[in-house]
Amino acid sequence: MIVLTVLLSLQMSGCFFIKADLSLVSKAEPLQEQVIAGQGKDKILLMDITGMITTEESSTALGVSRELGMVAVVREQLDRARSDGNVKALVLRINSPGGGVTASDMLYHELKQFKSETGVKVIAHFTDAGASGAYYTALAADRITAQPTTITGSIGVTMLRVDATGLMQKIGIQALEISSGPEKGMGSPFRAVTPEEKKIFQGMINDLYGRFVDLIVAERKLPVEKVRQLADGRIFTSRDAREAGLIDDVGYLEDALGKAKELAGIQQASIISYIRPGDYRPNIYSMNMNLFNVNLGELSRPGMKFTYLWMP
């Protein structure tokens, strides 16, 4: 660590340029199983989905190391659980405002496939937030529970786009676009949105929104008319969400673990998590996360974006 600090200081001072793969300093190692509560041969896997849902890798604060993206880590843990016949249930602890449309759909798909292949029961449990893409992901679960103080809902799609045309006019900069068709550059921040482009974008948003609604209808067994009333982007408390049929139970993590045992048909179980070497989780409230990591995923990249995201 001292050597790394010295090298970074010298580089930032302009003394020399480091040409090296510094990410090797924190290269990811295979997952290890840790028992964090309970006992018995049967196991319940506790897995976290925390923060922005994205396929992108995360960076440390100094930017000198990379970690696997959320979707990749979830798949890695599911693969580990697939190989262990003693894993009888999965409790997915979610604290997320949502994220990318595709990343949310990938998580939903991975969980559905895991359930289909293994028969393992899946409980989704929301803590602070389980909104938009996080709720989309949770639709793959057999049951959705939430803390009494959870915020959920925000069902819908957002398109993020920056319009820099006004700024360019003020500073006297013009953008030259040469393309093969009138709509090839649609979404560019260097030109205003035309009525035709807005119509196209709205059609895309409607399609992505329709998929979200269809999944809720199918997974929550609710009438489509009711879902469309609920899916106007509003947020819900956990109590209101339960009354609306969007979730099943309001309670705490231990209640979700108890429900997992009930659905799996087991009396006792070891509560396990998969961790990297060097991590430590003393109890069920410990989360497997690095507070120094920054991961906004596709939201940090320039350009147009479609998201299932609650942005308070």
How high is the pLDDT of residue 172?
A: 82
**How far is 104 from 108, CA to CA, in rounded Å?**
6
Task: Output 116 or 29, whichever has higher pLDDT.
Answer: 116
Nearest CA among 126, 75, 53, 93 for reference residue 271: 93
Answer yes or no: is pLDDT of 9 > 50: no
Known catalytic membership, residue 96:
no
Tokens 């994205």 locate to 54
In the predicted model, what is the mean pLDDT of residues 2-10? 41
| Residue 180 annotated to the active site | no
The pLDDT-based confidence of 24 (bands split at 50, 70, 90) is very low
Answer whether residue 297 shows pLDDT above 60: no
- Does the structure show a pLDDT above 60 at 34? yes
- Determine phi and psi for 88, rounding to 5 degrees: -105, -20
Checking DSSP bridges between strand 249-250 and strand 143-146, what pairing results, if any?
parallel
Residue 120: the pLDDT is 98
Residue 12 has pLDDT above 50, yes or no: no
Please tell me which residue, 298 or 194, carries the higher pLDDT value.
Answer: 194
Residue type, 50: T
CA-CA distance, 100 to 309, in Å (whole number)? Answer: 7
17 vs 155, residue with greater confidence? 155
| 53: DSSP letter | B
Question: Which residue out of 132, 154, 270, 273 is catalytically annotated?
Answer: 132
Task: Say how far apart CA 112 and CA 101 lie, in whole Å.
Answer: 17
> Is residue 83 packed enough to be buried (19+ CB in 10 Å), middle (13-18) or exposed (0-12)?
exposed
pTM of the model: 0.81
Give the residue-averaged pLDDT of 176-202: 81
**Sign of the CA dihedral running 76, 282, 93, 159:** negative
Which carries the bigger pLDDT value, residue 290 or residue 169?
Answer: 169
Give tens-digit pLDDT for 125-180: 999 999 999 999 999 999 999 999 999 999 999 987 777 777 777 888 887 777 78
Confidence of residue 58 (pLDDT cuts 50, 70, 90): low
pLDDT of 2:
45
What is the rounded average pLDDT of the residues 266-280?
87
| pLDDT at position 13 over 80 | no
Position 1 scores a pLDDT of 42
Q: Which of 25-39, 140-154, 205-219 has the lowest mean pLDDT?
A: 25-39
Predicted confidence band at 21 (pLDDT cuts at 50, 70, 90)? very low
Residue ranges of domains in the chain, CATH in brackets: 27-158+233-309 (3.90.226.10)
Question: Per the residue annotation, which of 27, 41, 184, 199 is the catalytic one?
Answer: 184
Residue 74 has pLDDT above 70, yes or no: yes
| C-alpha neighbours within 13 Å on the C-beta side of residue 66 | 9
Q: Please report the DSSP string for 68-88 in residue order.
A: --HHHHHHHHHHHHHT-TTEE
pLDDT at 250 over 70: yes
